[in-house]
Structure 1
Amino acid sequence: MKNKFMNSPIAYALGMFAIMIPSTAFGSFYSYYYVEKLGLGVGLATLARTIYLIWDAVNQPIFGYLSDRTRTRYGRRRPWLMSAIPLFMLTFILVFAVPEGMTGYSLFTWFLVALILYEGVATMLWVNYGALFPELFRGERLRAKASAVQQGFQIVALLIGTALTPILYDALGFGSMAVVYALAFALFMLLFLRYVREGEEARLEPPLRMKEAFRETLKNRTFWIFNIANSFAQTVNGLVSSMIPFYAKYVLHIPEAQVSILLASVFVSVIPLVAVWYVIARRLGGIRSWRLSLAIYGLSVIPLGFGFNLITGIVAGIAVGFGLAGFLVTPPVVSSQIIDEDFERTGRRREGVYTAVGGFITRSSGLISALAFWVVGMIFGYVSGDNPGPNPEGTFRVLISIVPLGLLLIAFVVSLWIRMPGRSLSGRKD
């Protein structure tokens, strides 16, 4: 039984489950916590996020390169993942354990330092976890299955990290909520590491030098187009989840206790829809199913702009779930195909560098999201929870529906530039 479970899609998905519980709570509620609860101005919050994204630009490629060059008897990725566990627990707690009495620039300083520390450790985790996927699972059919299982676990983690979080911070406070999630992260991460082992071949091959490794990556046209399109779509993931608490308060006019119900409507619906997208990916192949997911995701955010109470919000949330499920399942299949083609060309497996550089491009979506929040807030006069301006309802209708629709339209148009050779899982060419 143990050998059968080793390196299985379920074993790998445990790592996603572990990382996504605290990461979802972070992405969905840190803006709400600092801006709405603690009163940090949107301008200062945007400045802090911009600075940490510059730091992200530096640390992503470095961690990817160092990971690819690591040679130990435990593998390339596992030592990094093991080392990151206590550091991630600590930095996640720091984000939400703000000392009482902090305001203005002291609050901004704490926010900035906590973001930088958290982002550095999170990069170490995501780069090494993501780099394992194309190595453990070979072939589009197995990858589509592994991606579907992984995203099923991710959705459960998203559900916990969003729907359960308001209940926890209401009962325990934000600091204690962070401790609970940090302990859950450690438990499932250790279980994941117990049942995942890397192959021998990557340990034996000589690594590329830094200049050569990044040159080969950066001149890959398909890689750039894919990740630029994904960066706009990824912005929607973060923007919608982080805006839902504001949307619930100012648009739907529901109490905080019902935010969990609204969040659950999105993520519970995604769980069965992941299986639907697995079938679609098998029939259409990586590129076509990914492109279709972008189009459907764009249409699915439109109903959010028409919500006015809990029921209409739930209906809109279920619609978003279908588009979100497609975008969660299909990108890993495409990115793994890009890495395989690079391996055929260079003779080196460089999952770390590709995952890191791709991660930076897509995670630059955080800057797009922050700028959208700031610009729309300025237009409608929203500053913070202490000063919401004359039309906070309009602010968050635009941020949760119109802005995501525009971003996904851009992502879809960019995706049309990809021409990747290869066959779909059903035998048709992409």
Structure 2
Amino acid sequence: MRSKYVNSPMMYAFGMLAMMIPSQAFSTFYSYYYVDTLGLSLALATVARTVFLVWDAVNQPLVGYWSDRTNTKYGRRRPWIFAAIPLFMLTFIMVFSPPKDLSEVGLFTWFLIALVLYEAVATVIWVNYGALFPELFRGDRVRAKASAVQQGWQIVGILIGTAATPILYKAIGFGPMAIVYSFLFAGFMLLCLRNVKEDEEAVKLPQLGLKEAFRETFKNKTFWLVNIANSFAQTVNGLLGATIPFYAKYVLRIPEEQNTYLLAAVFVSVIPLVGVWFWLIKRMDPVKGWRLSLVAYALSVIPLWFGTDLTSGILAGILVGFGLAGFLVTPPIVNGIIIDSDSEKTGSRREGVYTAVSGFITRSSGLISAVAFLIVGIIFGYESGDDPGPDPESTFRYLISVVPLILLAVSVVISLFVRLERKPGHEQRAE
């Protein structure tokens, strides 16, 4: 019975569910908790956040490199994740459980240390979990199916982390909420690892030195084109999520409690739509499928411009869900082909380094989103809810439709320069 589930897409995807529940709760509510609930100044919170981002940029590539060079009888990735599980639980709880009656300096110190420790442990898990994907699933169709299942569970994790968190912390407090999520994380992650078996031959392959490993990665033109294109598209993911509450208020003019319907229209619709994209992708070249997903995503944001009420907003949200589903499913398949090509060239499997650098590139999308929000706000005079300027409706029509369309158009143009070829008897290879 066990062999049926070893390295199955469903069992692997439980790892994504495990990480997304606490990660979504963290990213959505940690600033609110410290600034609005505990009273930490926005300036000090911004300093801590900046240190957090710099630390994230430094530790991801190093963790990927160390993971690639790990050689144990239990594999390269699994030992790292097993060791990190209890540390992740502790650091996640630490973020939401500061001692009472701290001074502002004391609260800032706790906040900063908790962020740095949490990020270090989370990076170990994300990099090693992501590095398993191209190793466990070989071949375009298998990867398409595994990616579709994984992204479906990712959306479930996002919904739980977003919708259930306010209910939990209002009922039992932030600290107990973090404990609940920590044990959920451990349960799903252990279920995933119990059914993951790494490639024994990959562990035995020689590995490049530090400089050579990063030199080979940084000079891979195809890798950079793919991930820069993905970064612009990833910006749209964050921008849409951040803009929907404003879009609901100033454009659709609906009550705040109806925001949930808009968010559900986008995210809940993604779950069945990833199945549609799996059906499409397995019938075409992976790069063409990836490029098609970017085009579909770009077209899907246009109807948001025409939203006028809750009904039209929900319909537009479902169309966005279709574009988003495609973008979630296709990038792992293309990155897997690039890693396969690198393995043929160098004679080593370096999923860790590629996953880490790819993650850093796409995470940088948050800066693009913040700059776009600032520029459009300045153009239309929006400063805050207290001072929305003369035309807040136009501000958020542009932010939710025009700006995403421009960013995705850039992604599509970049994708046109990506070339992958298939050799007889081989998987696709990056040029």
Q: Per the shorter chain, which TM-score range?
A: 0.7 to 0.9
Match of 2:124 in 1: 124
Gap runs ≥5 in structure 2: none
Higher deviation after alignment, 198-207 or 121-130: 198-207
Q: CA deviation at 1:43?
A: 7.3
The alignment covers a number of residue pairs equal to 428
What is the distance in 2 between the residues matched to 1:394 and 1:102? Answer: 43
Amino acid at match of 2:221: R
Higher deviation after alignment, 358-367 or 126-135: 358-367
Amino acid at match of 1:193: L
Map 1:149-228; keep pairs closer than 5 Å.
149-228=149-228
- Relative distance call for 1:371 and 1:411 in structure 2 (3 A) is same
Aligned-residue Cα RMSD (Å) equals 3.3
What is the distance in 2 between the residues matched to 1:263 and 1:230? Answer: 22
What is the distance in 1 between the residues matched to 2:35 and 2:306? Answer: 25
- Match of 1:348, SS state, is coil
Match of 2:325 in 1: 325
What is the distance in 1 between the residues matched to 2:395 and 2:105? Answer: 25
What is the distance in 2 between the residues matched to 1:186 and 1:138? Answer: 27
What is the distance in 2 between the residues matched to 1:212 and 1:151? Answer: 33
Length-normalised TM-score, structure 1: 0.87
Question: Is 2:405 aligned against 1:419?
Answer: no
Match of 2:335 in 1: 335
Q: CA deviation at 1:291?
A: 0.7
What is the distance in 2 between the residues matched to 1:101 and 1:246? Answer: 35
Q: CA deviation at 1:245?
A: 4.1
Whether contact under 8 Å (1:42, 1:374) holds in the other structure is: no
Gap runs ≥5 in structure 1: none
Q: CA deviation at 1:406?
A: 2.0
Match of 1:241 in 2: 241
Match of 2:88 in 1: 88
What is the distance in 1 between the residues matched to 2:7 and 2:82? Answer: 17
Match of 2:14 in 1: 14
Whether contact under 8 Å (1:29, 1:242) holds in the other structure is: no
Q: CA deviation at 1:16?
A: 0.9
Whether contact under 8 Å (2:338, 2:429) holds in the other structure is: no
Whether contact under 8 Å (1:84, 1:124) holds in the other structure is: yes
Q: Deviations over 1:199-256 (max 9, x none)?
A: 2112222321111111111111100100111111112222222333444455545555
Length-normalised TM-score, structure 2: 0.87
What is the distance in 2 between the residues matched to 1:106 and 1:345? Answer: 52
Match of 1:293 in 2: 293
Q: CA deviation at 1:67?
A: 0.4
Amino acid at match of 2:89: M
Amino acid at match of 1:16: M
Match of 2:359 in 1: 359
What is the distance in 2 between the residues matched to 1:5 and 1:155? Answer: 22
Q: CA deviation at 1:302?
A: 2.7
Map 1:387-406; keep pairs closer than 5 Å.
387=386, 389-390=388-389, 394-406=394-406
Q: CA deviation at 1:377?
A: 4.5
- Match of 1:372, SS state, is helix
Whether contact under 8 Å (2:421, 2:428) holds in the other structure is: no
Higher deviation after alignment, 156-165 or 139-148: 156-165
Q: CA deviation at 1:405?
A: 2.1
What is the distance in 2 between the residues matched to 1:107 and 1:381? Answer: 35
Map 1:260-271; keep pairs closer than 5 Å.
260-271=260-271
What is the distance in 1 between the residues matched to 2:222 and 2:399? Answer: 30
What is the distance in 1 between the residues matched to 2:387 and 2:194? Answer: 48
Higher deviation after alignment, 180-189 or 5-14: 180-189
- Relative distance call for 1:103 and 1:373 in structure 2 (3 A) is farther
Whether contact under 8 Å (1:28, 1:242) holds in the other structure is: no
Whether contact under 8 Å (1:226, 1:415) holds in the other structure is: yes
Whether contact under 8 Å (1:97, 1:174) holds in the other structure is: yes
Higher deviation after alignment, 177-186 or 65-74: 177-186
Higher deviation after alignment, 350-359 or 85-94: 85-94
Match of 1:275 in 2: 275
- Match of 1:80, SS state, is helix
Match of 1:348 in 2: 348
Amino acid at match of 1:70: T
What is the distance in 2 between the residues matched to 1:253 and 1:171? Answer: 30
Q: CA deviation at 1:296?
A: 1.1
- Relative distance call for 1:395 and 1:295 in structure 2 (3 A) is same
- Match of 1:330, SS state, is helix
